[in-house]
Structures are given as structure tokens and as C-alpha cells.
Amino acid sequence: MLLFPPAKINLGLKVLKKRSDGYHEIETCMVAVPMTDVLEILPSEQFEFKQTGLEVEGDHESNLCVKAFRLFQERFNCPNAFIHLRKQIPMGAGLGGGSADASYVLRGLNELFECEATDDELREMATQLGSDCPFFVSDEPQMGRGTGTDLSPFSLDLNGYYLKVINPGIHIGTKEAYSGIHFSESAWPLHEILQLPISDWKEKLHNDFESHIFEAHPEIGALKEQLYAEGAIYASMTGSGSTVFGIFAEKPTLTTELYERVMRFS
């Protein structure tokens, strides 16, 4: 079985408050984009995990793919498997690649071994692996609330638009991302903003992480401005960074020596 876990972008990200459990209450719209890792899952007498492509720090047992396998096997007593992850999505970049890999392991094992786990069961397991993981159980745009795991489908049509993604190779950790956060003051519900024409998003659709991340890393903010200078209808940092993206009506060109990708929504 060959699977292609996608990256995601955040269209707007409000950080509303800090919860009593230490986590933060957020609101965001997440959209999967055609930029993928590659995941191979095969039946095997012994469990084996292999990772190639971009280097992933840590030992195999700390990899989310392995944690997903252990969790699924414990729940459904499925056979062992050989899992090969080819890592192509940059890590620590706000693109959710590791979360996608973990959720696609759950999805792949469920299909391969015909375990008949429901989407709700897969999401419950995915929640144990990370706050972005439940999003990748489904392929549709979704609104994320709470810690990001309270999900609901959201109708959004970006077909025909182009997406340009630039990753500057700067790792933004969770501690850094939240340490300087200013809670959202916008009273306008995110779902209402997203129903406006994309040309209106520039002034109204914001990522609350941007202000202090751009202050600490001005080169990330400069990339956002570069995307607008190139003709983006809307540009933003995704997640807690450091990747920025622009949505274009016409196909943009590659312009830097950084990690860049251009793709078309379909």
C-alpha cells in the first residue's frame, strides 16, 4: 500500500485564550494542499520502520508513525507491518507533515488489515498523537476549534487558484510560538471572513502568531511581503511558522534559493 500524506495550510489562526490545562484555545481553518510525503505500508512478520528523505531527529520509537502503529495495534490487535516513510515536507514549519504521516498510518493500517475503525475512532486515536493529527483523518477543509481537535467540515472552493509555499528553513518551536502571543481581539467570526472574496482576506484574515514571530525573525515577514509584491491575492504564515504561502490567480514563478513549491488547487 502506497499513501501520500499531504501538508496543510492554515487560513487564519486566532489564539483566543490560555486554558486552565495549559493549552490554548484557537480557531483556524485547515486546508490540505498537494504537497506530500510518501508512506509505504506492507504486511510483515516483524514490525519494521524505515525513514528516508529529509532527516528526522530522534530515534524511531519517538517518530509519530511508530507511535501511531503502536497505538493502532494495541487497539485493534492488527498484525505487524513494514512502514517506510519518505520525508519530503519540511519539519517544524507549520505544514503539519508529521501529523499527516501519523494519521495516514492509522488510515493505512485500518484499510490494509480491514479493521473497520470508524472515522470517529481514528480521530480519537489521532488526538492522542497530536493536535493537528485528527484533521488528516479526512481530506476536506475543516474548521478547528478548542485546541484544534474540535473539527467541523467547511465549504471552501479554491479550485483554479495557485499556491506558492516558501519555507526559510527556520524551526519555530511551540514554546517560542506561544511565548510572545497576543490573544486575538477580532470579534469577526473566522467562517464569515472566509466567505468573503479572497481579495478581501488581506485586511481581515490574520494569523495571530505573525506579529511576534516576524519581530523575532524579520526574514519571515519579508517573505510574506515578497509574495504580495509578486502578485499574491492573499499571503500568510501558516500555523506557528515558519512557512509562508501566497494564493495567486496566475501561476507564479520560483524566485529564491529557499525551499519553494508552486502547485494548483484542483
Residues 108 and 171 in one domain: no
- CATH number of 174's domain: 3.30.70.890
**What does the pLDDT read at residue 65?**
98
HSE-CB for 15 with a 13 A CA cutoff? 19
The yes-or-no answer on residue 87 being catalytic is: no
Shared-domain flag, residues 227 and 189: yes
Residue 257 and residue 183 share a domain:
yes
Question: Does 105 share its domain with 208?
Answer: no
Instruction: For residues 122 and 59, state if they share a domain.
Output: yes
Do 143 and 224 reside in the same domain of the chain? no
Do 67 and 45 belong together in one domain?
yes
- Looking at 87, 118, 153, the residue that finishes a domain is 153
What pLDDT shows up at residue 255? 85
Q: Where in the sequence is the domain holding 103, given as residue range(s)?
A: 2-153
Per the annotation, the verdict on 132 as an active-site residue is yes
Of 37, 87, 101, 132, the active-site residue reads: 132
Do the beta carbons of residue 149 and residue 180 sit within 8 Å? no
Catalytic one of 8, 14, 87, 164? 8
pLDDT tens sequence for the chain (266 residues): 999 999 999 999 999 888 888 788 899 999 999 999 999 999 999 999 999 999 888 888 999 999 999 999 999 999 999 999 999 999 888 999 999 999 999 999 999 999 999 999 999 999 999 999 999 999 899 999 998 889 999 999 999 999 999 999 998 887 888 888 888 777 788 999 999 999 999 999 999 999 999 999 999 999 999 999 999 999 999 999 899 999 999 999 988 888 999 999 98
Closest CA to 220 of 176, 265, 264, 162: 176
CATH of the domain at 122: 3.30.230.10
Is residue 142 located within the same domain as residue 178? Answer: no
**Same domain membership, residue 213 and residue 87:** no
Residues 111 and 198 in one domain: no
Q: How far apart are CA 180 and CA 215, in angstroms?
A: 10
At residue 51, the pLDDT reads 96
